[in-house]
Structure 1
């Protein structure tokens, strides 16, 4: 007679075998890839992270489209410019879904723009695009908000008198204030404790969403919802930010103005009033909170990280810094910097693009799904198959970049020194799910970076001869902490 323990062990072994055979059966129609282990799939091989270096190594063995397994769930990975553009651009509509059972989905409750699907996603995204466009064209447009915040950043750095500083904090506050002004209609003092906590919570969320716990959650959402761990604190932190936004909404409702809306919350409240009674409307407070939270998280994280890399590269390549300053001194008149100035500053513009390319901030973006059964590169993918575009492989594709693993502004310059775009420049992804805030980010990066290099000479602190140029993999690829001296010019 079998004991209870033996029966349990036998059932467990049978479950493992069944799951493994099921995975092998599903894999028949999928692209090739490393053999998955029962239950955990390729999580061990991936070191529980979607690290671009690991994905690039797998691509060398299996080609430009391959399959990895997050637990029992397959994910098709696209490598290189042609494979990525074939899916995201040529099949834009088909590859516009988001996974319906994931950490990000539970994080947002299926609301907002980033992880929602169908009618909700279409309405919220359309609102986001129109609102950012309206704010950009308003009396106090996005450019003037960015210029003011860039000047505050310059003043804050100038106050350090050239002493060694970790500039990441004040850069974060400055960029977060742009989003705050856009979303809430006002900025915060850098010394505001509530603002500092908001930024700290934002940083914690971006780290947590990309953590090993996050990958475990994606693999086993049915289990991770109920077990304790650091991932549960992420939901608590998210609730704090939700409540912060909720209070901002209440303040707007109590101090309602008659004139044209001037921030995201005012536009959203106006939209709720105008669509009230429509049977298919998705405009409600839950979606409003999530849209604002997503704008704050995404709008802060990517721009801050890019600017951190930009200053780091100025330390590594002082000759490039000198060349930028020569161009700025020869072209710009007066203290103000405008986005339109980029057309007269091809070298500076090229450097900013090269920072985005070489830094590969959003290296793999966010997984998508196909909304219908489809054929991709000859493989039949069932509806709701997870698809991941390895953007890092596009930004370093040797077929499109002369020296893909070297920092070289000439990647964006022609032989006459004019700015020259490249079709493999996809830092904001592509297709229906292209980054909503792409235009805002472009404005911010150009104005912030140009004003900083125009105002200061950046160099390493005394006694420091080199900096770490390797990345830390969070939701974005971040540089290791470093200190910098900013000497006023």
Structure 2
């Protein structure tokens, strides 16, 4: 009798795992224990990324609110301007998923500012931005730092003598060193930084924001540490923790200064409740990870678009030459370089670096498009689909910078284009990202013509946590 009851209970439990909540958004059927994992992973072989698979599923079910279950986690993907604005602006969506993967990212603890919520996030995001701005973040000193790094990049290009090279790593190093100056008042030792960047890129490609086997079944890391990607995160955490702890140790050991770490340590010394060294390490990690891939990926996409569209490259150069001459570019030039700014907007649209915004967690039961999203559901926001929505963009798959220029030749304010997100969780690094991308692109095209020996590189991207361009090299030929 006991065996019979046990078997019945097991079957009841299995059956309950495949029943969808009342009014749950449409989506594929669920299987016991795995939910939609198997179906999504099998389709990834065809479409190449989880983002593209889910985009196709949303079309298949004719919905802008796609309902999934990954392992035991309810996941909803939202599409369309109205739904994206709801998720990014209403407080019921401010929370982050409380998952194993996200805690593993921050040394196994829920710290930092990117993937925390509630009072900790509301206190530490403004504190972080306030003290970074004190050091010049988003102000003229930051622009000067970018211009100095531009000169370093131009030196690298000059030494290449027109041979084919990749400047992705030098770009990442430049961007990280700019932000780290405001955080720690120093640059990172190049060997350590290169190692960290390699792990960061591998992590971005290996994982997805919609979760993975490691997130659902953490015990798999003990059996398959490589296959689950656990070793990638473990190795990256070690590299980045060495960088952060070295900087904190030096700040403890030296006289007081003005950078972000000094400001934070002062709060620790004053015994402020949420100001701990773990939280300081978490914020430093968030800043380093955010700077390590996004800006350099956007620039690489821009270079690919120049290589694939020589006529566009000529127009960009002609405008820069006519408006700036040999003057060093500055952020204030973006309003004068109309076509160049439109070109960058089109790069952001067609080559969205973050096709999914960082995951959200529903704080209450919420209705959307007539469906019910249960409390605790993980919500993904598909920016990539919005940026290629054929109802919003004429010929969305065609590269056309002119779409951002009006009939009077003035730059249009890009509507429905959010490369840095929107709402209260909009990317805090946007001022640096926009300025860095603009000055670097203008400064390089001003001095060098981009070309390649064979066919131009593919515009396809490798999409994991973020979208990265396929690795490529190009020739940077000095303009006469």
User: Does TM, normalized by the shorter one, top 0.5?
Assistant: yes
- 1:333 is displaced (CA, Å) by 4.6
Show the 5 A alignment for 1:254-273: 254-257=253-256, 261=258, 263-273=259-269
Pairwise CA distance, 1:136: 2.9
CA distance in 2, matches of 1:183, 1:66: 40
Paired position in structure 1 for 2:101? 103
Corresponding position: 1:303 with 2:295? yes
Give the Cα separation in 2 of the matches to 1:283 and 1:361: 32
Equivalent residue, structure 2, for 1:29: 23
1:185-205 deviations in Å (ceiling 9; x for gaps) = 22357xx32332232233333
TM-score, normalisation: structure 2: 0.91
Is 1:314 the counterpart of 2:306? The answer is: yes
Give matches, 1:211-290, under 5 Å. 215-221=212-218, 223-224=219-220, 226-230=222-226, 231-233=229-231, 234-257=233-256, 261=258, 263-273=259-269, 276-278=270-272, 281-290=273-282
Residue correspondence of structure 1 range 51-70 to structure 2 within 5 A = 51-62=50-61, 63-70=63-70
Q: Give SS of 2:393's match.
A: coil
The residue correspondences of 1:67-106 to structure 2 (distance < 5 A) are 67-89=67-89, 91=90, 93-106=91-104
SS in 2 for 1:423: coil
Question: Tell me, what secondary structure is at the counterpart of 1:371?
Answer: coil
Question: What residue is the counterpart of 1:471 in the other structure?
Answer: 461
Residues 136 and 182, structure 2, Cα contact 8 Å, conserved in 1: no
Unaligned 5+ runs, structure 1: none
Q: Residues 197, 72 of structure 1: CA spacing in aligned structure 2 closer, same or farther, 3 A cutoff?
A: same
Cα 1:13/1:288, change in 2 over 3 Å: farther
* Shift in Å, 1:125: 1.1
Q: Which secondary structure does the structure 1 equivalent of 2:37 belong to? A: coil
Deviations 1:333-382 (A, max 9, x none): 54421111101111111111111111011011221012233322333333
Q: Confirm whether residue 193 of structure 1 aligns to residue 191 of structure 2.
A: yes
Equivalent in 313, 317, 322 of residue 325 of structure 1: 317
Gaps in structure 2 of 5+ consecutive residues: none
In 1, the alpha carbon distance for the partners of 2:6 and 2:206 equals 34
Residues 13, 303 of structure 1: alpha-carbon distance in 2 compared, 3 angstrom cutoff: farther
**For the Cα contact (< 8 Å) 1:374–1:380, is it kept in 2?**
yes
Spell out, residue by residue over 1:103-160, the C-alpha distance to the aligned partner (whole angstroms, 9 max, x if none): 1133221100111121111112112222333233699721111111121111111110
The C-alpha deviation readout for 1:157-182, integer Å capped at 9, x for no partner, is 11101001122222222222223323
Q: Which deviates the most, 299-308 or 137-146?
A: 137-146
Residues 1:403 and 2:395 aligned together: yes
Quick check: 1:482 aligned with 2:472? yes
Distance in 2 separating the partners of 1:123 and 1:168: 35
Q: Distance in 2 between matches of 1:466 and 1:16?
A: 56
Q: Which residue of the other structure, out of 339, 352, 355, is the alignment partner of 2:344?
A: 352
Is 2:35 the partner of 1:41? yes
Q: CA deviation at 1:35?
A: 0.7
Return the offset for 1:393. 1.1
Instruction: Note if contact 1:458-1:485 (Cα within 8 Å) is conserved in structure 2.
Output: yes
1:277 CA drift (Å):
3.5
What number of residue pairs does the alignment pair up? 468
Structure 2 vs 1, CA of residues 152 and 440 (structure 1 numbering), >3 Å: closer, same or farther? same
Q: Say if 1:17 and 1:38, in contact at 8 Å, map to a contact too.
A: no
Deviation at 1:282, TM superposition (A): 1.2
Give, in whole Å, the separation in 2 of the partners of 1:184 and 1:206. Answer: 25
